[in-house]
Homo-oligomer: A and B are copies of this chain.
Amino acid sequence: MAELPPAHPFDHDKLKEECGVFGVIGVADAASFVALGLHALQHRGQEAAGIITWDAERGFSSAHRFGYVRDNFTRADVIASLPGQIGIGHVRYSTSGSKGHTQIRDVQPFFGEFSMGGAAIAHNGNITNAAALRRELIERGSIFQSSSDSECIIHLMARSLQRTIPERMKDALRRVEGAFSVVAMTRTKLIGVRDPLGVRPLVLGRIGEGWALASETCALDIIGAGFVREIEPGEMVVISEGEGVQSFRPFEPARPRFCIFEHVYFSRPDSILGGRSVYETRRQIGVELAREAPVEADLVCPVPDSGTPAAIGYAHESGIPYGMGIIRNQYMGRTFIEPTEQIRNMGVRLKLNVNRALVKDKRVVLVDDSVVRGTTSRKIKEMILDAGAAEVHFRIASPPTAWPCFYGVDTPEREKLLAASMSEEEMCRYLGVDSLRFISLDGLYRAVGEAEGRNNACPQYCDACFSGDYPVAPSDMIEKGFRLKTAAE
């Protein structure tokens, strides 16, 4: 099989969103729309994708495939095998923690047959008490078919005494802790739910006489759907062709804590999150960074592609010219056979090249979105210096990433996070650059529109990866030995 190109040039050295969800009701050929929506959400998960539809004649149909949406769900035979006017889909990224390889049966959406009919469900996020729930369900006779935590939801629904699928789903989700944006379907209803804190995004769109649910607005754009509104934290919407959109509030009310890293890196720049353009937020981060951490320099360069909007903002605010000092290879490869005569930094060279003529003898500000392990940053610095740059100054569009995420993002173990064990100054020495500055947490809050910065008494966002302040206790992880931040830290 042809090898998949990596999702991002520095794939292995980034936090990675684990999922994207999409659903549609009330359109002919729902599967074609779901395929397009998932394609637009491909950046949220590249390992595998699945689609389930329902049609009066064929009942529920499903297809789950490893690889890109464009390689699997562009085939007429696959789409023809998914008839119906209602459908949901999912793209997934494998979690680093999984033992061994993902099996196709781990790929969502999951399907369950209940006595009142079938339901399919897909979710973006992570259930923090999944291990405990799983143990309890097995004890009572449930058979799990996947290693995925999300399967818990289906089993909880199967055991509910409620008479309708939406009511069973409420029952089930009330037992579940963590971050989740769910898209589900029955034969006649499309359902969307966000957890009480609204950690992961979920938006509602209108297409002709039908409706769509998607992780991001960019997936509405691709199908020509209009953006209606976000599903609210703690809200469940049940959409049917007859009754339109009905809204429920199954959970205890809570203050929202949307993931701030969606603004920094996960979401696509052309999406709208919480009423704000992601691109504009990132540009604004660059502006804040230029104010917080100015430097004398000749050139502002983004680390492509995610550092680009912040670099544009930094250049604009600082008045230093903006230029493409690093060129990304559009045909990135994950691996090549390394010749015996070793090539320095070959892994990075496969993905980018320094624009030598541009950076030579210049003092260069490199703007990147985040530093995770730091391995790639070191190599980029080396390449820039090899090309003759006079100075290298790193400016990072997020605070130091010092804590793992347990809400649906693939992060290394804490000890592998550079910022978990080093101060900014130590990191600067470790990376060997002339200066290194991260945006402050308050600066980041300002960039997302909180003029006063972070409200420490009652933070407006989930920023656990920077602050160690986890809004939902990661109970499974604590059981496995994870140590929360102490008051002293």
A residues near B (Cβ < 8 Å) are 1-3, 5, 7-8, 27-29, 32-33, 35-36, 39-40, 42-43, 46, 58-59, 61, 67-71, 73-76, 79, 99-100, 104-105, 112-115, 135, 138-139, 141-145, 154-155, 158-159, 207-208, 218, 221-224, 268-270, 272, 276-277, 279-280, 283, 305, 308-309, 312, 316, 321-324, 327, 329-341, 343-344, 346, 349-350, 353-358
Contact = CB atoms under 8 A, between A and B. Distances in A.
A111 to B, nearest CB: 8
A152 B408 CA distance: 34
Contact of A143 (B36, B158, B330): B158
A410 B207 CA distance: 40
Contacts of A324: 269, 279, 308-309, 312
A32 B340 CA distance: 9
Nearest to A27: B341
Instruction: Report the 8 A-B pairs with minimum CB-CB distance, sorted nearest first.
Output: A70-B333, A277-B357, A32-B339, A141-B159, A29-B339, A2-B71, A270-B327, A141-B158
Contacts of A3: 70-71, 74
Given A279-B358, A355-B279, A333 B222 contact: no
Nearest to A323: B312
Given A114-B138, A337-B35, A67 B2 contact: yes
Given A8-B330, A58-B100, 5 more contacts: A27-B341, A40-B353, A115-B135, A270-B353, A305-B330
Contact of A33 (B74, B339, B344): B339
A190 to B, nearest CB: 16
Contacts of A8: 330
Contacts of A43: 330-331
Contact of A32 (B159, B218, B338, B344): B338
A259 to B, nearest CB: 20
Copies in the complex: 4
A312 B308 CA distance: 13
A330 B426 CA distance: 34
Given A143-B112, A358-B279, A76 B337 contact: yes
Contacts of A99: 59
Nearest to A58: B100
Contacts of A39: 329, 331, 333, 336, 350
A33 to B, nearest CB: 6
Contact of A353 (B207, B222, B329): B222
Contacts of A339: 27-29, 32-33, 36
A208 B272 CA distance: 51
A403 to B, nearest CB: 28
Nearest to A343: B224
Nearest to A76: B337
A70 B332 contact: yes
Contacts of A69: 331, 333
B344 A224 contact: yes
Nearest to A43: B330
Given A79-B337, A221-B349, A145 B145 contact: yes
Contacts of A343: 36, 222-224
A270 B224 contact: no
Nearest to A104: B104
B357 A272 contact: yes
Contacts of A68: 2, 331, 333
Given A113-B144, A336-B73, A349-B222, A327 B40 contact: no
Contacts of A336: 32, 35-36, 39, 70, 73-74
Given A143-B112, A324-B309, A329-B39, A350 B222 contact: yes
A42 B327 CA distance: 14
Contacts of A76: 337
A329 B355 CA distance: 23
A332 B100 CA distance: 30
A51 to B, nearest CB: 12
A339 B82 CA distance: 12
**Residue of A270, A334, A350, A353 contacting most chain B CB atoms (<10 Å):** A270
A5 B312 CA distance: 28
Contact of A40 (B143, B277, B329): B329
B143 A280 contact: no
